[in-house]
Amino acid sequence: MINASKVKSIAVLTGGGDAPGLNAVIRAVVRTGIGHGLKVWGIKNGFGGMVENQVIEMTDEYVAGILPRGGTILGTTNRDNPFNYPTMQEGKTVYKDMSGQALNNLRQRDIEALVVIGGDGSLKIGSEFYQLGLPVVAVPKTIDNDIPGTERTFGFDTAVGVAADALDRLHTTAESHHRVMVLEVMGRYAGWIALHAGIAGGADCILIPEIPYQIDAIIAKIEERQQRGRLFSLIVIAEGAYPQGGEISVSRIVEGSHEKIRLGGAGEKLARQLESLTGIESRCTVLGHVQRGGTPTAFDRVLSTRYGVAAAECLLEGVFGNMVALRKNEIIRVPIVDIAGKANNVTANDELLKAGRSIGICFGD
């Protein structure tokens, strides 16, 4: 390992899907590093930029004004894994281990340590580079909030706010037309966005991957509302939710991606089924990437800044192989090997899930 007193040059990259707050993390890493005399580099377009040597020097001016901006000024991708990298040979795509080339590109610029900002796939790659001897510190990023070891990932608060706002808007049109409105939200195989947005937006049913749903339970909730004169219903469904005995809804397969299966269609499938079985007009709205884009909330900006500062401080102290995390409003350090490749899901004992049941929300079971 590199001695902390000898670390003079570091790099930062953003991997996987974009999330509100990425630029705030980058800004905090750069300003903290430069403020302590470090040279800071930015790797463009995720881990692919490590392989392709797409590296730029970061300055205070480069990160000026980016705090409220969505996306990432460095660019990102969720398809380029240096340990299984796509190359062209005789007109065909061949996957090769290009991790050595990626490390050599860093050495050529005397880059001694790396901040990886990413979700589970990026953290796994970062952990593999750490095992090869590269000093790595990770920052948990995903709107899905499904990374273990931390109570919050940045980007989640913004995504929940977008979904809750959509529910507020769907409420008025559902009530006007006496419809069942289904809102499909992101989250992959975790139901955190659906759960939080559903509670905040007054949903009548919340369907999450952790609780396979029964269509009869949902219909019973709709009919119970009808009997009370509530002639409309709001349903939030996570993209990874599925019926008991059924399967998840897959929109497409993306070869070469860390996550080949792309979810989608659960909401439309449910809306069609409900309309057929109840005779009540049902409509589906899919938020999709709207949840990823735009200005991060104040909470996400603050959390992102705290994460970026903490990551840079790890490198300055010579504490490598950790992910910075939030627990009980304190920033802590968690070994990457303890969380890489693992997931954080909603449990049956989750306090918010229990609260939803107490106020009459149907979870499809």
Task: Output the furthest CA–CA distance in the chain (Å, rounded).
Answer: 72
Burial class (CB in 10 A: 0-12, 13-18, 19+), 4: middle
Among all chains, which residue has been given the structure tokens 């009540």? 280
Strand partners, 253: 261
Q: How far apart are CA 353 and CA 356, in angstroms?
A: 5
DSSP, collapsed to helix, strand or coil, labels residue 218 as: helix
Q: How far apart are CA 288 and CA 17, in angstroms?
A: 12
Among all chains, which residue has been given the structure tokens 């009459």? 360
Exposure letters 324-359 (e unless 16+ CB within 10 A, then b): bbbeeeebebbebeebbeeebebeeeeeebeebeee
The pair of three-digit structure tokens given for residue 2, joined into one six-digit string: 């590199």
DSSP assignments along 24-90, one per residue: HHHHHHHHHHHHTT-EEEEETTHHHHHHTT-EEE--TTTTTT-TT--S-TT---SS-BTTBEEEEET
Characterize the bridge pairing of strands 92-96 and 113-118: unpaired
DSSP, collapsed to helix, strand or coil, labels residue 94 as: strand
Q: How far apart are the first and last CA of the chain?
A: 51
Would you call 60 a catalytic residue per the annotation? no
Q: How far apart are CA 191 and CA 173, in angstroms?
A: 25
Eight-class DSSP state of 191: -
Which residue in the list 80, 120, 144, 157 is annotated as catalytic?
144
Q: Which residues are known catalytic residues?
A: 144
